[in-house]
Structure 1
Amino acid sequence: MVDHRSVSNSPAPMLSVDEHRATVAALLPSTPVERRPLAECLGLALAEDLPAAIPLPPFHNSAMDGYAVRVEDLAGAGADSPVALPVAEDVPAGRVDNPPLRPGTAHRIMTGAQMPPGADGVVPVELTDGGVEQVHIQREPSPGANVRRAGDDVARGTVVLTHGTTLGASQIGVAAAVGAAELAVHRPPRVLVLSTGSELVAPGVPLQPGQIYESNGAMLAAAVRQAGAEARLLRFVPDDVAEFQAELEPHLADTDLVLTSGGVSAGAYEVVKDAFEGQGVEFRKVAVQPGMPQGAGSYRNVAVVTLPGNPVSSMVSFEVFVRSALRACGGHRVRERVRVRATTTEAADSPEGKRQFRRGRFAPDSGSVSWAGGAGSHLLAAMATADCLVDLPAATTRVEPGDSVTALLLD
């Protein structure tokens, strides 16, 4: 016999932001490691340290266009008493043979060219008459002047890039410089972005009464790519459970994360919730504004994260719950947004018991932040002007001008 006095019909307590972040992060293990040609590594995370196979520079070379000389041959040279030396060789960059410099001679040398054996300095062409058979040199150089020594930048065997490094232009440049034709990288996470709603139509199509242009899919797919993952966009999934599941099924085999927006709250036509609930995806309320209705779990062994449908709620939820998890999944060492302390320029209210992420504009010169629009979750145009999210703790109900807050800097 059931003791009905012990049965509670109260709703489950809201999750904290950190609890839901941990749930989402646990769904996404690191992606496999693969070797890719250097040209295909931009934006990916290095999966192992890269030591230099050669020193940089790989040989002593000239830092200037000028003349390679023996410093002792130019004792006393000056503007009024130039020293004349025969020019024995021309040494352009890339010359493979490297004839030695004989005493009492000079080699005309170009920037980056190998220093000839016996030379211990370079005189810039500006301090000479530019002669090609004989050169008059107007200044005595110091030993080692204008010479780049082998290994000045990097010694052979030095680790030039560490695992977890996000590969940008300069990182790819140094990898190429030490001779790496390919790199071991984490495969970027593959994300299927779904937007649900029978009211959605593609931009450019004339709107009928009750229809709106679909924006969340394009926005979230762009956010996924900015986070270093691959995005495929499946638009206009209908508000029908069977059709939704049928649309989804062919994409699961090569997907690491299904990311949806819309269809997760308490309405009568919440197709995402109806399709995933009881199938490994849990729907809970999170103590956050905007974006209280959230879902996360695994559907047929594929990670699923469901975001609310209001555009600002969807975008903020991605930033707060999904972006860092995707970065970790893709092997990136730097996963979180840069956080800065700032002072507010105007007042704002925040709901008691909820952690609010208010859109803002950060002024680095003054260290201040102003609000980008109001707190409403439909204010997408204002979101587009924001360059930070101001993180207001759940215990905060109001901030006044001059208060100190934490801001997450956006792209």
Structure 2
Amino acid sequence: MTHTCDLLPQGILSVEQAQTRILSGIAALPANEPVTLWQAQGRILAETVCAPLDVPPYRNSAMDGYALRHADTASDQPLHVVGASFAGRPFAGQVQPGECVRIMTGAVVPAGTDSVVMQENVQREGDDIRLTHPLKCGDNVRHPGEDMRTGDTVLVPGRKLNAADIGLLASLGISEIKVLRRPRVAFCSTGDELRSVGEPLQVGDIYDSNRYTLYGLLQNLDVEIIDLGVVRDTPAAVEHAFQQAMQQADVFITSGGASVGEADYVTSTLERLGKVNFWKIAMKPGKPLAFGTLGE
């Protein structure tokens, strides 16, 4: 069986072949930059992130209730409430046998206690409590490093950071990370017939719609966008746009001027300033699509 791509005229690529050529000619940017967590959404991580501390960093309660010594639950004697431990305001003393401390979710489990009974499972009378349900030693206590230990790998290079990642980094106290620099993409439309939206059209003019389409597509990507506007159909104007792109951008996208007309200067300028990888693809419209490299 003869494949469709085998029937293509010499020098013309299928769309799939062209895509492969383009992707194989692109390398990741070597540069990275530090950003704060406020700037990290959607960026590509450039370093391995390891946990600088245990999570949680201390024993804390998984429930609202009472912190106590499990050994004290062996008898039916009430336990005396001697204080409270809140998140951010821990109980400072040492809990003695027969005592307990009112505790809230996330609060430090006081010294001298090893378990937390849920408030629903006690009966309180004044400053004394009695358990109404059995309790296991260690119940409802979260220990240091239970979720993550110091030195654990948290995130690896190449990950596109999302809101959950940023929250995780914040929970570790990390305020700044290294990410890959965003590619800078310059783009323009070429043609003497093009007019910007809002301008009156003269005979032979059309509105520059492709540039707006390109801008919309680029906004969906994690790139810095450089709009070089409408470039007139002269060799000097086209070369000036190419020179601007070489100085400012990593990628340059043009619309128009890549065919063989007398006023089409894009491909010849690319050939003069760089190297043309391919020029024509098996697609209509869009056959004169050129791809190459500028400078180094």
Indicate the TM-score class for this superposition, using the shorter chain for normalisation. 0.7 to 0.9
Shift, 1:279, TM fit: 2.5
* Structure 2 equivalent of residue 380 of structure 1: none
2:189, 2:19 → 1: CA distance? 21
Change in CA separation of 1:222 and 1:155 when aligned onto 2, cut-off 3 Å: farther
1:27, 1:14 → 2: CA distance? 21
Change in CA separation of 1:284 and 1:100 when aligned onto 2, cut-off 3 Å: same
Change in CA separation of 1:278 and 1:128 when aligned onto 2, cut-off 3 Å: same
Written as runs of structure 1 = structure 2, the 5 A alignment for 1:234-383 is 234-282=228-276, 283-287=278-282, 291-301=286-296
Shift, 1:187, TM fit: 0.9
Q: Is the Cα contact below 8 Å between 2:66 and 2:117 reproduced in 1?
A: yes
Change in CA separation of 1:91 and 1:250 when aligned onto 2, cut-off 3 Å: same
Letter in 2 for 1:168: N
Q: Are residues 1:21 and 2:15 paired?
A: no
Q: SS of the counterpart of 1:294?
A: coil
Q: SS of the counterpart of 2:13?
A: coil
Change in CA separation of 1:25 and 1:228 when aligned onto 2, cut-off 3 Å: farther
Q: Is the Cα contact below 8 Å between 2:90 and 2:107 reproduced in 1?
A: no
1:184, 1:162 → 2: CA distance? 11
2:75, 2:213 → 1: CA distance? 70
Q: Is the Cα contact below 8 Å between 2:258 and 2:290 reproduced in 1?
A: yes
Q: Are residues 1:138 and 2:137 paired?
A: no
Letter in 1 for 2:38: A
Aligned partner of 1:100 among 94, 100, 106: 94
Q: SS of the counterpart of 1:278?
A: helix
Change in CA separation of 1:269 and 1:155 when aligned onto 2, cut-off 3 Å: same
> What are the superposed Cα offsets for residues 197-232 of structure 1, whole Å, 9 maximum, x if unpaired?
334333445555554443433333343343322222
Shift, 1:54, TM fit: 0.8
Count residues in correspondence.
286
Letter in 1 for 2:31: P
2:94, 2:218 → 1: CA distance? 57
* Structure 2 equivalent of residue 389 of structure 1: none
2:54, 2:137 → 1: CA distance? 22
1:132, 1:201 → 2: CA distance? 82
Q: Which runs of 5+ in 2 are unaligned?
A: 1-8
Q: Which runs of 5+ in 1 are unaligned?
A: 1-10, 78-82, 302-411
Higher RCO (Cα < 8 Å, 6 or more apart): 2
Q: Are residues 1:231 and 2:229 paired?
A: no
Q: Is the Cα contact below 8 Å between 1:75 and 1:140 reproduced in 2?
A: no
Q: Is the Cα contact below 8 Å between 1:241 and 1:274 reproduced in 2?
A: no
* Structure 2 equivalent of residue 406 of structure 1: none
Letter in 2 for 1:14: I
2:92, 2:217 → 1: CA distance? 53
Written as runs of structure 1 = structure 2, the 5 A alignment for 1:20-59 is 20-59=19-58
Written as runs of structure 1 = structure 2, the 5 A alignment for 1:183-194 is 183-194=177-188
1:189, 1:131 → 2: CA distance? 67
Aligned partner of 2:164 among 158, 170, 176: 170
Q: Is the Cα contact below 8 Å between 2:246 and 2:294 reproduced in 1?
A: no
Q: Is the Cα contact below 8 Å between 2:83 and 2:91 reproduced in 1?
A: no
> What are the superposed Cα offsets for residues 81-118 of structure 1, whole Å, 9 maximum, x if unpaired?
xx642221211112366433222111111111111123
Letter in 2 for 1:69: L
Change in CA separation of 1:273 and 1:116 when aligned onto 2, cut-off 3 Å: same
Written as runs of structure 1 = structure 2, the 5 A alignment for 1:68-107 is 68-75=67-74, 84-95=78-89, 98-107=92-101
Q: Is the Cα contact below 8 Å between 1:66 and 1:123 reproduced in 2?
A: yes
Q: SS of the counterpart of 1:194?
A: strand
Letter in 2 for 1:163: P
* Structure 1 equivalent of residue 5 of structure 2: none
Change in CA separation of 1:127 and 1:219 when aligned onto 2, cut-off 3 Å: farther
TM-score by length of 1: 0.62
> What are the superposed Cα offsets for residues 322-365 of structure 1, whole Å, 9 maximum, x if unpaired?
xxxxxxxxxxxxxxxxxxxxxxxxxxxxxxxxxxxxxxxxxxxx
Q: Is the Cα contact below 8 Å between 1:20 and 1:286 reproduced in 2?
A: no
Structure label with greater radius of gyration: 2
Shift, 1:165, TM fit: 1.1
2:75, 2:91 → 1: CA distance? 32
Q: Are residues 1:197 and 2:191 paired?
A: yes
* Structure 1 equivalent of residue 6 of structure 2: none
Shift, 1:248, TM fit: 4.4
2:123, 2:204 → 1: CA distance? 81
* Structure 1 equivalent of residue 176 of structure 2: 182
Q: SS of the counterpart of 2:117?
A: strand
1:94, 1:152 → 2: CA distance? 20
Aligned partner of 2:113 among 113, 119, 126: 119
